[in-house]
Amino acid sequence: MADRPTYEQLAQRVEALERELQGCRPDRTETAVQKDGGMRKEGEPFWRWNEQWHREIIDTIGEAIWLFDWHRQKVIYVNPAYEAIWGRSAEALYNRYEEWSKSIHPDDLTVANESFARLAATGGSEKREYRIVRPDGSVRWVSDRGYVIRDRQGRIVRLAGIAMDITDRKLAEEALRRYEKIVATSKDLMALIDSDGIFQAVSDSYLKAHCKTRAEIIGSSMRDLVGRKRFNTDIKPRFDRCLAGEEVTFRLWFDFAGMGNRFMEATYSPFRGENGDIVGVVVVSRDITETKNLQEQLLQSQKMEAIGTLAGGIAHDFNNLLMGIQGRTSIMLVDIDADHPHVENLKGIEEHIRSASNLTRQLLGFARGGKYEVKPLDLGAVIREKNRMFGRMQKGIVIREELQPDLWPVEADRSQIEQVLLNICINAWQAMPDSGILTVQAANVHLDSPAVAACRLSAGRYVKISVTDTGIGMDATTRSRIFEPFFTTKEIGRGTGLGLASAYGIVKNHGGFITVESVEGQGTTVDINLPATDKRVAADDRTTKPLYKGAGTVLLVDDEEMVVAVGSQMLQRLGYDVLTAAGGREALQICKRHHARISLVILDLIMPDLSGADTCTLLKAVHPAIKVLLSSGYGLNGKSGDIVKSGCDGFIQKPFDLNALSQKINDIVLSGSA
């Protein structure tokens, strides 16, 4: 296919035509007739034949050609290609310039007119690009180069031009600009690499990630950028698969000079040349570090939930055993004189029971079953009190407080939150064997959905407590396991591995979450986030109440024979008549017969035939005035807490002694509340 003529070649043809037409006369000599090789018809005037011959040539040219009469200010000729582009006939265009210019897009008319005026003023050539509006409303882009044609005296007689339809090119350029804008604004790292591993193009984000200029990367080798070992191990195998026609997606950790260590998802796509052969690879890498962290947090949360379920079951059963020991010990202490030789032994047993109960309480805290008395709480006051206490215990460290003065209240069990703070501070102190600084901060924060998504919590207002030490820090492996129960890095005898596990469960049970950041040799920060409340903080009343004895009938319901036996004796020592039931259905039958004389029902939460929750609901439905005290080896978690709010009159945690039982019954029977 022959090459298309250039603007300059076409212009020369137009100028030659005009000169030929101007120079032709009817009285040309026969020499000229002989010169044309006999192609002119006999008797045909030379000038008419010459004009027709040139016009036929121009009419067959694919480019649009036009002639404009300068003196008459009108188009005097357009070829068929011009008509095709403009969508108008030659007759429609042979008019005054003002009429012809109506085909120009309104937004481009000024540019076209100015270019036309410059062409006439300079007498040279002028190229312009503008849009035209065809009669059917479609818009086309035109590239038009105009020329000046003068007579022998140098006066302008014609303006001529060659125009091309460049709509497809303009659309392609516009699409390219959009793609370039997308690439420029995208955070994804993009690059085009040829089959030899040489960079051909890169996005701005790619340059920023590597802290390189475009000149430093373009033309360089990917092997040199990422390192020979990394390239041969991780990149080249996937690169070769892509050159073979496969789209490859993979995920790896990468170290970037401008981003640090990030987890990236990279996709390698084959890049094909004009003939369809694969000539390179398009690389698109996306930073998914935050997504990976959220996934790991979710997996960690699910793992901890599974472990928590197991720990809660163990603690529940163990508390039932302790209940038997505690109850019998309390009864023996009531029945013997203070100078009896076994009094000290019995008190020692009670002390050991309390120690064992503290262990199960920490297990239940981890299992999110250790929340007992929930009230609006001023965290600032709690933190200050615990810091003073801890400071007196550990003289070798400096404690700094940075507490926002207007902290929002939170709904929490004070003793549990105190246990969380104490456990975390003890861990921080043990991480600073040669002294150090312990900083406790608290502030109000607003957390959005992404920040709490992994914990499956709601966005909103939280109070954030941060405990930072300057200790030895932890590696990634240790950091991933610190909330597991019984996991500890301390030597035997210095820890049970339940402190942070308990803290994790307690915070989770309060609708919050806990996270840890640590760097080996630099220290650790533990962040506790608890949801804020609009409720007001009430005055703190933690006075110890005396032992109360009573009268009336109590129905004790528990599926554990040991608990029923010892509980009955404890109630009798307090002056109550006792009825017992081994399950919920039996309890309903007893209440049906004796509800008039029953003052209180002590109801176990977990029973096989009919749960404590269902039993309570059925009892209240038949006997709305009956008082129910819920008892469990588990703590007051979400489910049992809802039972207390909806129907039960109180809750008591196993194991309990005579004093705790008497106080709880007194609160319910006399005051009508727990």
CATH number at residue 386: 3.30.565.10
Residues 374 and 514 sit within 8 Å (Cβ to Cβ) = no
Task: Tell me what the mean pLDDT of segment 616-630 comes to.
Answer: 86
CA dist 574 → 18, 53, 372, 552, 626 (Å):
129, 131, 24, 10, 20
For 352, the 3-state DSSP assignment is helix
Task: Tell me what the mean pLDDT of segment 87-97 comes to.
Answer: 70
User: In angstroms, rounded to a whole number, what is the distance separating the alpha carbons of residues 66 and 95?
Assistant: 13
pLDDT score of 26: 38
Would you say residue 155 has pLDDT above 90? no
pLDDT score of 49: 42
| Angle, CA of 647, 653 and 658, to the nearest 5° | 110
> Containing domain of residue 99, as a range?
7-164
User: In angstroms, rounded to a whole number, what is the distance separating the alpha carbons of residues 233 and 227?
Assistant: 10
SS3 content of the chain, % helix, strand, coil (to 5): 45, 25, 30
Task: Tell me what the mean pLDDT of segment 516-543 comes to.
Answer: 84
pLDDT score of 330: 78
DSSP 53-108: HHHHHHHT-SSEEEEEETTTTEEEEE-HHHHHHHTS-HHHHSSBHHHHGGGB-GGG
Same domain, 559 and 521: no
- In a domain? residue 274: yes
pLDDT score of 2: 45
For 536, the 3-state DSSP assignment is coil
pLDDT score of 413: 82
Same domain, 650 and 595: yes
- Structure-token pair, residue 538: 């009430």
User: In angstroms, rounded to a whole number, what is the distance separating the alpha carbons of residues 320 and 563?
Assistant: 7
Q: How confident is the model at residue 304 (pLDDT cuts 50, 70, 90)?
A: low
Would you say residue 646 has pLDDT above 80? no
Would you say residue 523 has pLDDT above 60? yes
- In a domain? residue 209: yes
- In a domain? residue 292: no
**Tokens 């044609």 found at:** 149
Task: Tell me what the mean pLDDT of segment 403-430 comes to.
Answer: 87
Residue 523 region, left (φ>0) first, then alpha (ψ -120 to 50), else beta? left
The residue among 112 and 641 whose pLDDT is bigger is 112
- In a domain? residue 304: no
- Candidates 211, 204, 199; CA nearest to 188 is 204
- The lowest-confidence range among 244-248, 348-352, 495-499 is 495-499
Give the number of domains in the chain: 4
Q: How confident is the model at residue 408 (pLDDT cuts 50, 70, 90)?
A: very high
Helix (H) or strand (E) holding 167: helix 167-185
pLDDT score of 195: 92
Task: Tell me what the mean pLDDT of segment 355-378 comes to.
Answer: 66
User: In angstroms, rounded to a whole number, what is the distance separating the alpha carbons of residues 551 and 30?
Assistant: 149
Would you say residue 344 has pLDDT above 50? yes
Would you say residue 532 has pLDDT above 90? yes
- In a domain? residue 299: no
pLDDT score of 305: 65
553-557 and 577-581 beta bridge pairing: parallel
User: In angstroms, rounded to a whole number, what is the distance separating the alpha carbons of residues 525 and 386?
Assistant: 18
Would you say residue 41 has pLDDT above 50? no
- The lowest-confidence range among 13-27, 263-277, 410-424, 638-652 is 13-27
- In a domain? residue 382: yes
Q: Which residues contact 168 (CB under 8 A, 6 or more apart)?
A: none
For the chain, report the end-to-end CA distance as a whole number of angstroms.
Answer: 99
Compute the mean pLDDT over every residue in the chain, rounded to the nearest whole number. 78
Same domain, 102 and 241: no
Task: Tell me what the mean pLDDT of segment 359-370 comes to.
Answer: 58
Residues 164 and 143 sit within 8 Å (Cβ to Cβ) = yes
pLDDT score of 441: 94
DSSP 59-74: HT-SSEEEEEETTTTE
The CATH number of the domain holding residue 128 is 3.30.450.20
Task: Tell me what the mean pLDDT of segment 62-85 comes to.
Answer: 80
Whether omega for the bond prior to residue 655 falls within 30 degrees of 0, making it cis, is: yes
Final residue of a domain: which of 133, 164, 195?
164
Helix (H) or strand (E) holding 17: helix 7-23
Same domain, 37 and 140: yes
pLDDT score of 64: 83
Beta bridge partners of 475: none
Would you say residue 609 has pLDDT above 50? yes
Q: What is the DSSP letter of 543?
A: P
Same domain, 205 and 117: no
pLDDT score of 610: 86
pLDDT score of 57: 61
Task: Tell me what the mean pLDDT of segment 354-367 comes to.
Answer: 64
Would you say residue 600 has pLDDT above 60? yes
Exposed / middle / buried, residue 542 (Cβ in 10 Å: 0-12, 13-18, 19+): exposed
Q: Rounded to the nearest 10 degrees, how much is the dihedral formed by the CA atoms of 124, 128, 134, 137?
A: -160
Final residue of a domain: which of 235, 267, 287?
287
Q: How confident is the model at residue 33 (pLDDT cuts 50, 70, 90)?
A: very low
- In a domain? residue 368: no
Same domain, 137 and 49: yes
**b/e per residue, 499-530, with b = 16+ CB within 10 A?**
bbbbbbbbbbbbbbbbebebeeeebbbbbbbb
The residue among 638 and 231 whose pLDDT is bigger is 231
CA dist 19 → 153, 512, 557 (Å):
13, 92, 121
Same domain, 123 and 212: no
User: In angstroms, rounded to a whole number, what is the distance separating the alpha carbons of residues 352 and 334?
Assistant: 18
Would you say residue 80 has pLDDT above 70? yes
The residue among 452 and 562 whose pLDDT is bigger is 562
- Structure-token pair, residue 170: 């303009």
pLDDT score of 510: 86
Would you say residue 661 has pLDDT above 90? no
Same domain, 140 and 255: no
Residues 450 and 543 sit within 8 Å (Cβ to Cβ) = no
Would you say residue 96 has pLDDT above 60? no
CA dist 226 → 113, 188, 255, 257, 316 (Å):
56, 17, 9, 11, 55
Would you say residue 42 has pLDDT above 50? no
Task: Tell me what the mean pLDDT of segment 603-615 comes to.
Answer: 84
Q: How confident is the model at residue 636 (pLDDT cuts 50, 70, 90)?
A: low
Same domain, 612 and 473: no
Final residue of a domain: which of 496, 531, 566?
531
- pLDDT digit string, tens, across residues 197-256: 999 888 888 888 999 998 998 999 999 998 888 899 999 999 999 999 999 999 988 888
- In a domain? residue 424: yes
Q: How confident is the model at residue 47 (pLDDT cuts 50, 70, 90)?
A: very low
Same domain, 509 and 570: no
Sheet arrangement for strand 628-632: 577-581, 553-557, 598-604, 628-632, 650-653
Same domain, 520 and 562: no
410-413 and 260-272 beta bridge pairing: unpaired
Residue 473 region, left (φ>0) first, then alpha (ψ -120 to 50), else beta? left
The residue among 77 and 568 whose pLDDT is bigger is 568
Same domain, 231 and 132: no
- pLDDT digit string, tens, across residues 98-130: 656 778 888 888 877 787 778 777 777 778 888
Q: How far is residue 222 CA from its own chain's centroid?
A: 31
pLDDT score of 640: 53
Global pTM value: 0.41
- pLDDT digit string, tens, across residues 540-556: 655 556 677 888 899 99
Helix (H) or strand (E) holding 385: helix 379-393
Contacts 24+ apart (CB under 8 A), 71-80: 71/157, 73/97, 74/100, 75/100
pLDDT score of 173: 79
Max avg pLDDT among 339-343, 388-392, 597-601: 597-601
CA dist 405 → 38, 277, 379, 438, 464 (Å):
110, 69, 11, 20, 13
